[in-house]
Amino acid sequence: MCKSVFSCPVCRGALEYDERTYRCAKNHCFDRAKSGYVNLLTSDRMHSKLPGDNKLMVRARRDFLNKGYYSVLARELCRLADKYSEKYFRIIDAGCGEGYYTEQIVASLAEKKVSAGGIDISKNAADFAAKSGKNGVEYAAASVFHIPVGDNCADLLLSVFSPLCIEEFKRVLKKDGFFFMVIPDRKHLWELKSIIYEKPYENQVKDYSLDGFKLVDAVDIPAEMIRLESREDIANLFTMTPYYYNTKQEDRQKLDNIDTLETTIEFKILIYKNKGE
């Protein structure tokens, strides 16, 4: 049995795993899927039978990101993770999706002794992440509001376009551990939104202060244009965004006859240190 970065969602005891199961000392047992991920999302913490992104959305995000359209963000996250990491380092990605950023960051820290876990409330996302993972990252279906890891165990916690649970993040991070939060900047995907909506709106960038955290740095990734060369790429970009949930069918169809698209990408990476209060 191997020691896991995860803890039991029932008793919070340490978990160990083999090819088939995750198990704690109290014999709470969780099956490991063929792809390698484990479902640690207990029924009392599910609001639907299949919470989170469906296969269509996860596949769209995987296919879009794997073409390198957001590689500038991935590179900067890798640089910052190296800057703020020590020789021995544990990373938890809270809302890891299909694992694109998790895998790149862990791979970039190959010369350091890194252990890493990625969680996502979507079983589809955890499954995709585990299937494509190559860097020893453990993946679990779990909620960011109930992260299945021990107290004060993470050196770095990531939240890339994911829901926040500040109290849970403070619990998980070591004192003086770092929290990276990635948000879209004001003009992100402006041209895409201009096609879909009659009155597009800029992204709202809220106050940076977080209770219990000290803001260490705010890194701007300057706006640049990306060119999408096919209807498939355009559809994948739209499908992986929050707009997909909330856009009328008639507005979605505005993208159907567009073969290429140039649109702005613009991000902020906010870096916090846990005050340990």
Q: What digits encode the pLDDT tens for the residues 187-199?
A: 999 999 999 999 9
Sign of CA dihedral 4, 124, 106, 95: negative
What count of Cα atoms within 13 Å lies in the side-chain half-sphere of residue 204? 2
Instruction: Provide Rg for the chain, Cα atoms.
Output: 19
| Domain positions in the chain | 43-274
Tally of CB atoms within 10 A around 43: 6
The neighbouring-strand residues paired with 272 are 179, 215
pLDDT in tens, 135-179: 999 999 999 999 999 999 999 999 999 999 999 999 999 999 999
pLDDT recorded at residue 44: 66
Helix (H, G, I), strand (E, B) or coil at 133: coil
Q: Which CATH superfamily is domain 43-274 in?
A: Vaccinia Virus protein VP39 (3.40.50.150)
Instruction: Indicate if the pLDDT at residue 72 is higher than 90.
Output: yes
pTM: 0.94
Mean of the pLDDT values across residues 53-63?
A: 95
**Can you tell me the distance from the alpha carbon of 169 to that of 227, in angstroms, rounded to the nearest whole number?**
36
Specify whether the CB–CB gap between 90 and 5 falls below 8 A: yes
pLDDT in tens, 110-130: 999 999 999 999 999 999 999
